[in-house]
Amino acid sequence: MGSQASVAISGYQQTQKTVDTNREATPAEVDAIVLRQAAERLLKAQQMPDDEFFEESLLYNQLIWTVIQSEMTAENPLSEEIKANLISLSIFVDKQTAKAIGTREPDLLNTLININRNISMGLERTVPEQPVGEQPEL
């Protein structure tokens, strides 16, 4: 899996380079783009369940989730609840991927596509920063 993992990591790095040549993308932006691109790959794979692309797309998505899971360490600033939820999702992705590869059932990809899109949309939402000492209006 070492070479496959490096492909997923390389995908992250390539995405970060292409986001905007004038600035560096934030980790959340990179994650959002990678998840959205993986969702699009899975959507395309649904149209060709007997093609090699079907399994490749599922494995690529699974690797992305493996990278996400590996980032859920004690040093990660996310809350314990969010980290636990992301780990649970990555375990679900593993199980759903194995099931989809085994059955070649295109509808099994719907859940994976929705997960990726929803997490991507959540990562794209940003809260405007408040200057120190100012309170937002309620």
The answer to the question of residue 61 being in a domain is yes
CATH number assigned to the domain comprising residue 10: 1.20.120
Cβ(49)–Cβ(41) under 8 Å? Answer: no
The answer to the question of residue 17 being in a domain is yes
pTM beyond cutoff 0.85: no
* pLDDT at 108 > cutoff 80: yes
The answer to the question of residue 31 being in a domain is yes
The answer to the question of residue 129 being in a domain is no
Integer distance in angstroms from the first to the last C-alpha of the chain? 50
For the stretch 4-63, pLDDT in tens is 555 555 555 555 455 555 567 788 889 999 999 999 999 999 999 999 999 999 999 999
The answer to the question of residue 132 being in a domain is no
The answer to the question of residue 130 being in a domain is no
* pLDDT at 119 > cutoff 90: yes
* pLDDT at 103 > cutoff 70: yes
For residue 68, the enclosing domain spans 2-124
Cβ(39)–Cβ(2) under 8 Å? Answer: no
The answer to the question of residue 135 being in a domain is no
SS3 52: helix
The answer to the question of residue 136 being in a domain is no
Q: Residue 95: its pLDDT value, please?
A: 98
